[in-house]
Chains A and B, each alone.
Chain A
Amino acid sequence: MTGLKFIQKMKELFGLSPEDTETTKKKAIKELIKKLKLRHILLKQELKNETDLIKREAMHDSIKILKKQIKKGKEIIED
């Protein structure tokens, strides 16, 4: 193992590999959008089966929030 490789290995071991913070942030947002989309689908399915009016209202609100959050996330990634 060369000296450089050894240093890289040690950095990885201690989590000190320098990474572009902007790229890391965008990557994390992408991951989060994926989860939010999945949550959005799940809530829509639950809404179909829900008969309680108050609960339906709360689900509607959550779906609206999720839509807005997904849109916001996409805008950040595209920037």
Chain B
Amino acid sequence: MKRLLLFIAILALSYGFFQSKNFLSIAAGVAIFLFGMKSLEEGFRFFVGGLLDKFLKNITNNLYKSILFGTVITTIMQSSGLAAVIAISFISAGLISVAQGIGIILGGNIGTTTGAWLIAGLGLKISIATYALPMLVFGMLFIFQESKRLKGIGYALAGLGFSFLGIAYMKEGFDAFKATIDLTQYSADGFMGLILFAAIGAGMTIVMQSSHASLVLILTALSASQITYENAIALTIGANIGTTITAILGSLGAGYEGKKLATAHFLINSLTGLLLICFVPQFITFIDYTAPFFAIPAHDYTLKLALYHTYFNLICVLLFAPAVHGLVSLLNHLFQPKITAEGAIDDVLYISDVALDFPDTAEATLLKETKHLYNNVYDIIAQGISVTKEDIGSGMEAEDILKRRDQALHVNMDDYYERRIKEIYGKIINFAIVAQGKFSDISDHQFIPIKNATIGIIEAFKAAKHMQKNMLRYLESDNEYIKSEYNHIRKNLIKHLRTMQMIFNTTEEDVAVLLLSKLQLDAQNYDIAANKSLDNLIRTNKITYTMATSLMNDTSYAYTIASELSKVAHILFMHSSTHVENSSEALILNETEVSDLTHTTSQRSTS
């Protein structure tokens, strides 16, 4: 279907180019303009790493700052679509809330009005192509430079140059059209005319994927008197509705949070459009009345259209900014996360194509998905030692949990791996590798440690799986000594898993720093104590040599689980967005420092 549409579009355009040179000039202008916009966006991405994250952290919990952020980004980039893409990507990664995302979208609507003023005020009044050519030359010069920043400036300059050139071509095409054909004869009056032209405006924006390009086209056509002022207003309303399609397409690869934002964008622009289309004649009078305050001459319809565009978007913000929380509630009701049934195959919750748009979103997504995987592995390790994760989180003493769960819990760990681990693990590793390749300059400290944490989680799972066989056998054994040893392993692992949960749940930095060091100390202490106990049991013939071998192996597996999970907790804590402080890491004790403490502890125990 898509290919057929493309073929029809190529045929129609070719026929149009053959029939009219001016049509070719306008179409080429649009194409060059769109290419310029893409280039400008590319230039922006060179500056994004880290900077955007800082910006977004400072707009947290403040709708008006989000609106300001959206306005600034769109004014600089001249693309509200990009503001929407940023918002969707950051929402999908959980870095900002839906309310903040809506703020960015509303700000984007305001930012887009600056473009209309620039084009109407300057672009159509001066020979813009004169500035385009030097920009292209300097832009190319910068693009060939090694420095990322200079490259970014180069792309931005070239982007602006191409956009200006595109506008010049469109203007030339419409001016030449004026001499041969009068498009105003196809204008439509009345309410039906407004609806028709709004639909055309929405359609052309969907095709071009840029309301900015549509606006340029409308303004150039209006300046060449090829469309009427009323029809231009209707086209502008349509363009504002059509632009939401960019966000909807962008959200297709995003999670349900991204879809919420795309729907919000569509609702905000469509409802404002539908409301204002009913009052176009009244608005024209209002603009005629207010235009002199902005020194806009009565006959300058392009500037009047820019003023209309500004009013439209301001109304949008004024109508919806106070209603953002209500809108979020509605969206929460409409879009809900899918819940994986007990027996069903669990899949990734956060990884999506849009998460790879920016390094910060890729890191946050990777981190969240790794925590999702950890939760599943935590669940199965708990079952592997014949308790449940609810037991561990209950606050009961470890000894009491063991008394309550004195029977072995037969759970198929291979089946669990297939259902709730394999798919997620594979996708995380794949995502991390793609992110490493895409953002190679920062991958060493952002993606590789989290990928290693994922591998550590799986190592812990494997150790738990190996341990489970003997655990099941000896928990039901008549030999009280071996049973007691396995219960000792269980008790230590329960404590370890509990400490891990405390680290993930705490908001106090000092508690987390203390617990992270304690995890390591406990793992080492336990290893020493278990070996001593094992020696004693063998010497006194309280267990058979087969039991001793099993216990020796399983003690080693238990140590693997504890040490791997300690490393995982350390990495996930350090990369967690709420605790990204280098100071914390500096105070967490390293292996040698923990060994020193273990040494003094064992000395105290023996003395």
Contacts and interface: CB of A to CB of B under 8 A. Distances in A.
Contacts of A15: 54-55, 57-58
B510 A68 contact: no
Interface of B: 54-55, 57-58, 65, 508-511, 513-514, 517-518, 521-522, 525, 581-584, 586-589, 593, 596-597, 600-601
B58 A68 contact: no
Given A61-B522, A68-B589, A72-B589, 6 more contacts: A13-B58, A14-B55, A36-B513, A62-B518, A66-B514, A68-B596
Contacts of A31: 583
A25 B521 CA distance: 26
12 contacts: A13-B65, A14-B55, A25-B586, A29-B583, A35-B510, A36-B510, A36-B587, A39-B510, A64-B600, A68-B596, A69-B587, A72-B589
A65 B514 contact: yes
Contact of A29 (B54, B58, B587): B587
B582 A28 contact: yes
Interface in A1-59: 13-16, 25, 28-29, 31-33, 35-36, 38-39
Contact of A76 (B513, B586, B593, B601): B586
A31 B600 CA distance: 28
Contact of A16 (B54, B522, B593, B600): B54
Contacts, number: 74
A4 B279 CA distance: 44
Contacts of A76: 586
A16 B47 CA distance: 14
A66 B514 CA distance: 7
A68 B509 contact: no
Contacts of B601: 61, 64
Nearest to B59: A14
Contacts of B514: 36, 39, 62, 65-66, 69
A64 B596 CA distance: 11
Contacts of B508: 35
B517 A65 contact: yes
Contacts of B600: 64
B583 A25 contact: yes
A72 B587 contact: yes
A14 B509 contact: no
Nearest to B521: A61
Nearest to A33: B587
Nearest to B520: A65
Contacts of B521: 61, 65
Contact of B587 (A16, A62, A73): A73
A32 B510 contact: yes
B593 A28 contact: no
A31 B513 CA distance: 13
B253 to A, nearest CB: 29
A14 B57 CA distance: 8
Most buried by A among B510, B513, B600: B510
